[in-house]
């Protein structure tokens, strides 16, 4: 099996764990390399291969590390996360169980769960894809923005708020949950809109089928930024039109046989 290992680079414990894991996999006769630019490639005297060559990707870190890995992989590779973060909704394995599980995987029998990503375009230009969320947020504290929500070409809602979260079902347990949004089954294919600190109490989260045409227009001359999965994507201007579609390339998570709702219940009890 060909394994790409992606440790969180600024966590010495994650990097050391990755090194030990790489040694074990090599001892089993597996082909191993690390993310491009990682110093472990030099110590192992190996050259990174392309994502298309990998059977699986092993991500070591927290949810941010998983988001980074999904953003960087082309094409998407079946991945499994090993939790070195605080909560780790996207990292399904703990360090003490990871080797035992991964060493039993075979490329021909790997079961994956496709996680929907959203594709974000601004004024017709593709900006990027998000596994968790795209966030439109004011650049001036205490200054509200105004949004028009357009579904199938029809304006259906207006929000006045500090910002707007455009989330996937996977991202419903991230920023959207902190802002008062519902927890959504990741097998649902839908867009979740959650206003940040809305002016009107009647402005509630919306869950919209991904089969619909969704757009958000910024109706405000106040400066705003677009952030995709925690990474700055650019500034928006008055009448910027943000188009939201389902990405043709979902993230592929290896099934580790852990029930989503049981995991969420357990994780939330640690917060």
Active site residues: 63
The C-alpha atoms of residue 26 and residue 63 are separated, in whole angstroms, by 26
161 phi and psi angles, rounded to 5 deg: -160, 175
241-246 and 125-130 as β-strands: parallel, antiparallel, unpaired? Answer: unpaired
From the CB of residue 80, how many other CB atoms can be counted at a distance below 10 Å? 22
């Amino acid at each position: 099996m060909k394994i790409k290992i992606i440790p969180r680079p600024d966590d010495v414990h994650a990097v050391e764990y990755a090194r030990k894991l790489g040694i074990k996999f090599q001892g089993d006769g597996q082909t191993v390399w690390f993310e491009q630019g990682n110093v472990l490639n030099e110590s192992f005297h190996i050259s990174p291969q392309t994502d298309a060559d990998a059977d699986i990707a092993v991500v070591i870190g927290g949810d941010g590390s998983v988001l980074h890995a999904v953003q960087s992989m082309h094409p998407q590779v079946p991945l499994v996360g090993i939790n070195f973060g605080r909560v780790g909704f996207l990292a399904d394995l703990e360090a003490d169980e990871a080797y035992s599980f991964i060493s039993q995987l075979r490329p021909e029998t790997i079961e994956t769960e496709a996680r929907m990503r959203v594709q974000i375009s601004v004024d017709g230009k593709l900006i990027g894809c998000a596994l968790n969320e795209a966030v439109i947020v004011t650049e001036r504290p205490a200054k509200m923005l105004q949004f028009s929500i357009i579904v199938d070409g029809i304006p259906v809602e207006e929000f006045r708020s500090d910002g707007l979260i455009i989330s996937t079902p996977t991202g419903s347990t991230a920023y959207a949950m902190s802002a008062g949004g519902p927890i959504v089954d990741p097998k649902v294919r839908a867009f979740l809109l959650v206003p940040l600190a809305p002016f009107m109490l009647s402005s509630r989260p919306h869950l919209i089928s991904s089969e619909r045409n969704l757009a958000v227009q910024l109706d405000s001359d106040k400066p705003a930024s677009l952030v995709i999965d925690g990474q700055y994507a650019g500034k928006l201007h008055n009448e910027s039109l943000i188009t939201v579609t389902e990405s043709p390339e979902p993230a592929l998570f290896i099934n580790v046989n852990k029930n989503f709702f049981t995991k969420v219940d357990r994780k939330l009890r640690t917060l």
